[in-house]
Amino acid sequence: MTIPFLRESERLVRVHRFRFTGGRGCAQGTTDIIVEEDLGPVADPSSRCQARPDHPTWVPRPHLYVTAGTVEGALAACIEKMRGGRAADLFFPEA
């Protein structure tokens, strides 16, 4: 896709926000997932979308990033990596 109003080195990214809710015993745990979809030309189309967990008060850039060719693929891969863990582990991994 060519976006005529962008200048050299500028890029346009569409941001999708999802909320993943998973059971934790008798409680529900929720984590937001951000998927950034690059709308301009990319060198590798299989990495067009990047997903990461997000939380408004925790470290804003966790260590878990997943890339895929589609929003759905990035979201599914991110959820699969998050499943079974604690949300805090995504933002404060043990050294």
Q: For residue range 36-60, list pLDDT tens digits in order.
A: 999 877 788 899 999 988 876 765 5
The model carries a pTM of 0.72
Distance CA 42, CA 27 (A): 41
The dihedral over CA atoms of 58, 59, 63, 67, expressed in degrees to the nearest 10, equals 80
Strands (E), 1-95: 13-24, 27-38, 49-54, 66-68
Nearest Cα to Cα of residue 51 among 13, 22, 21: 13
Mean pLDDT of the chain: 79
What distances in angstroms separate CA 47 from CA 21, 34, 41, 82, one per listed residue? 25, 15, 11, 19
Q: Could you tell me the two tokens for 83?
A: 């499943």
- What is the pLDDT averaged over residues 12-26? 78
